[in-house]
Amino acid sequence: MVVVISDEYLDSDACDFQTKFALSLCPGARGKRLIPVKYKPMTRPFPSILRFLTICDYTRPLTQDWFWKRLAKALSQPASQL
């Protein structure tokens, strides 16, 4: 599951519920079933519930060249190969 994190995400109860549900499917993030993506600058703090996951940050100019390729690879591979 790809979760696009933004200020709008933080305002959505539905997004919050779906994220918590996805996290409950992979306790401790061992299954790597959740990929948080930050695609634009945020004015509010990043959700603490996702702090232990690696964030794909599209807002950083240095990562934009390889961002999409890396995200596609993460989505296409089983978690054991990541």
Read off the CATH number of the domain in which 71 is found. Answer: 3.40.50.10140
Residue 44 in domain: yes
- Domain containing 69 equals 2-23+32-76
CB-based contact 56:70 (threshold 8 Å):
yes
Check residue 8 and give its pLDDT. 92
Residues of the chain short of pLDDT 70, as ranges, are 26-32, 77-82
Residue 62 in domain: yes
Check residue 78 and give its pLDDT. 59
Burial class of residue 29 (count of CB atoms within 10 Å of its CB; 0-12, 13-18, 19+): middle
CB-based contact 1:22 (threshold 8 Å):
yes
Number of domains observed in the structure of the chain? 1
Residue 82 in domain: no
Q: What is the pTM of this model?
A: 0.71
Separation of alpha carbons 77 and 37, rounded Å: 17
DSSP letter, residue 50: G
Check residue 72 and give its pLDDT. 85
Count the helix, strand and coil residues of the chain and give each as a percent rounded to the nearest 5. Answer: 45, 10, 45
Check residue 48 and give its pLDDT. 84
- Bridge partners of residue 37, in order along the sequence: 4, 56
